[in-house]
Structure 1
Amino acid sequence: MVRLSNNLLGLLNIITLLLSIPIIGGGIWLSRQANTDCERFLDRPVIALGVFILAISIAGIVGSCCRVTWLLWLYLLVMFVLIIVLFCFTIFAFVVTNKGAGQAISGRGYKEYRLGDYSTWLQRRVNSNWGNIRSCLAQSKICQSLLDSASTPLDQFYKEHLSALQSGCCKPADDCGFQYVSPTNWTQTASSTDPDCSSWSNDPNLLCYGCNSCKAGLLDNIKSDWKKVAVVNIIFLVFLIIVYSVGCCAFRNNREDNAWKRRYP
């Protein structure tokens, strides 16, 4: 008679196997729908994750239900490594996203973002890949809504609730003291030591995509996304630990059954 832990492990792995199918499908869909490098870089990791979950689920099902002890041992080994990696990544995600936040400005509906406020590790990663990221942001048209609202009066613009990327990439910093013409058109009135002020351009293809504030806006988005991922990781980690515990029971059952068959063939 198949023991409860083997049945339960098989059931849990059937669930994860079914979950892997939409993940793989989503990755394939992303690869076909992508029009820019921004979207395209996600498809391969998503497909790889789906295939990995599919493979490990099949190993768990076969190992538990068909009593293949060596395959179940391999399954548990991979699960153990996955739990350790996921635990370390979750801790790391909380550490690198602990620093940095937008600075509220009196009388403004948006916040200002400073690159130096964020994790040094994240800064290095963004700086080393900024050429591709900058092109990606320009193609994504994050500033299009501001370009389309050229007739917006200054007092109304100051009340706008801009996203971190829009605030950092689509307008100059308030410290520059530029004269407002439209949300994406500003007249330089004085020189400033802030390199972002000299990087600003009224050209809609340039704007402040070369500014540190734009990098900071991106990091604020990354920080927010990573914190959400870290919370999901904690939930997934608890699920993996439960599955691993059930797997250990199933592995013990397999060994006991194999030992019994050797003694009483």
Structure 2
Amino acid sequence: MVRFSNNVIGLLNFLTFLLSIPILVAGVWLSKQGATECERWLEKPVIALGVFLMLVSLAGLVGACCRVSWLLWLYLLVMFVLIVLLFAFTIFAFVVTNKGAGEVVSNRGYKEYRLGDYSNWLQKKVNNTKTWNRISSCLHSGKVCTEFQSKFLNDTVTQFYTEHLSALQSGCCKPAEECLFTYENSTSWTKPGNVTSYNNPDCDAWNNNQTVLCFNCQSCKAGFLQNFKTEWKRVAVVNIVFLVLLIIVYSIGCCAFRNNRRENWKGYSR
């Protein structure tokens, strides 16, 4: 029973070490084969995660199974910092994603999204040109509007207005309702000739070119943030479960550390 906690920590860290190998390989593959800005953007975080998991799991494995107390102490310190950071990140993410929601449009099956409805921190992030260029590159490579066009291309204007569009489709693939553009097809709209200026800058940003559309619009950024909020709700559940597991592993690790010190002390006493 004395060695039970050490064996559990050793087994968990061995499994984590095995997990770190494909993650590290995936990061190296992205750095060599990544064709899009989105893929290249992911390479460094993936490699860093793989290296981090590998080093931490080795420290825990050797510390628990070989009774190297200083390594196990280092492992527990990293785990404690990770728990604190993960808890702080969870709270922070809930705070910054609390604001913002789509606006219901009369006689439409979809909602419209405005950037000003979301938190200032998120607005600042998507308004950064470098950051938004990376995000829009991901949206392009994800074929958000390409699939949108093929799905709704044959819709009449009445049919299109009843479609239930996602936040990204509504914000990035069509102009805002207040622009009063004339519908031709799902991604082709005609600007009214009697309007010289718009209150909404998105109206001027719209372009029927399939590589442009409304990817530079404020509504597209708002649609992205709404999609981020929706995904965060799903991630939050996993995040909380992961946090609970980390706390359990940390507790077992503390038991293993006490076992190491007890057995080392017995060794010195002899």
Give the Cα–Cα distance (whole angstroms) in 1 for the partners of residues 264 and 154 of structure 2.
79
Report SS of the residue matched to 1:143: helix
Report SS of the residue matched to 1:41: helix
Given residue 67 of structure 2, which amino acid in structure 1 is its aligned partner?
R
Contact 1:93–1:227 under 8 Å retained in 2: no
Aligned residues: 264
Equivalent residue number for residue 132 of structure 2: 130
Equivalent residue number for residue 250 of structure 1: 256
Contact 1:90–1:233 under 8 Å retained in 2: yes
CA offsets, 1:87-135, max 9 Å, x none?
1111111111111122232332222111011111011011112234334
Q: CA RMSD in A?
A: 2.0
After superposition, the Cα gap between the structure-2 partners of 1:32 and 1:103, relative to the gap in structure 1 and judged at 3 Å, is: farther
Displacement of 1:34 in angstroms is 3.0
Give the Cα–Cα distance (whole angstroms) in 2 for the partners of residues 22 and 14 of structure 1.
14
For structure 2, list consecutive stretches of 5 or more residues without a partner in the other structure.
Answer: none
Match for 2:156 among 144, 147, 153? 153
User: Is the deviation greater in 24-33 or in 185-194?
Assistant: 24-33
Contact 1:147–1:204 under 8 Å retained in 2: no
Contact 2:2–2:259 under 8 Å retained in 1: no
Contact 1:38–1:140 under 8 Å retained in 2: no
User: Is the deviation greater in 246-255 or in 153-162?
Assistant: 153-162
> Following superposition of structure 1 onto structure 2, how do residues 60-99 of structure 1 map, counting pairs within 5 Å?
60-99=60-99
User: Is the deviation greater in 131-140 or in 88-97?
Assistant: 131-140
> Following superposition of structure 1 onto structure 2, how do residues 180-219 of structure 1 map, counting pairs within 5 Å?
180-189=183-192, 190=195, 191-219=197-225
User: Normalising to structure 2: TM-score of the pair?
Assistant: 0.90
Equivalent residue number for residue 119 of structure 1: 119
Give the Cα–Cα distance (whole angstroms) in 1 for the partners of residues 184 and 62 of structure 2.
67
Given residue 251 of structure 1, which amino acid in structure 2 is its aligned partner?
F
Report SS of the residue matched to 2:189: strand
User: Normalising to structure 1: TM-score of the pair?
Assistant: 0.91
Match for 1:224 among 221, 230, 239? 230
Contact 1:99–1:117 under 8 Å retained in 2: yes
Displacement of 1:150 in angstroms is 4.0
Report SS of the residue matched to 2:183: strand
User: Is the deviation greater in 10-19 or in 134-143?
Assistant: 134-143
Contact 2:36–2:137 under 8 Å retained in 1: no
After superposition, the Cα gap between the structure-2 partners of 1:29 and 1:159, relative to the gap in structure 1 and judged at 3 Å, is: farther
After superposition, the Cα gap between the structure-2 partners of 1:256 and 1:145, relative to the gap in structure 1 and judged at 3 Å, is: closer
After superposition, the Cα gap between the structure-2 partners of 1:223 and 1:33, relative to the gap in structure 1 and judged at 3 Å, is: farther
> Following superposition of structure 1 onto structure 2, how do residues 43-62 of structure 1 map, counting pairs within 5 Å?
43-62=43-62
CA offsets, 1:198-228, max 9 Å, x none?
2112222221122100110111122222332
Contact 1:151–1:182 under 8 Å retained in 2: yes
Displacement of 1:136 in angstroms is 4.3
Give the Cα–Cα distance (whole angstroms) in 2 for the partners of residues 106 and 78 of structure 1.
53
Give the Cα–Cα distance (whole angstroms) in 2 for the partners of residues 167 and 81 of structure 1.
41
Equivalent residue number for residue 36 of structure 1: 36
Give the Cα–Cα distance (whole angstroms) in 2 for the partners of residues 30 and 93 of structure 1.
27
For structure 1, list consecutive stretches of 5 or more residues without a partner in the other structure.
Answer: none
Given residue 183 of structure 1, which amino acid in structure 2 is its aligned partner?
S
Match for 2:144 among 121, 125, 142? 142
Displacement of 1:7 in angstroms is 1.2
Given residue 69 of structure 1, which amino acid in structure 2 is its aligned partner?
S
User: Is the deviation greater in 10-19 or in 146-155?
Assistant: 146-155
- The answer as to 2:240 corresponding to 1:234 is yes
Displacement of 1:47 in angstroms is 2.2
After superposition, the Cα gap between the structure-2 partners of 1:21 and 1:130, relative to the gap in structure 1 and judged at 3 Å, is: same
Displacement of 1:2 in angstroms is 6.0
After superposition, the Cα gap between the structure-2 partners of 1:109 and 1:34, relative to the gap in structure 1 and judged at 3 Å, is: farther
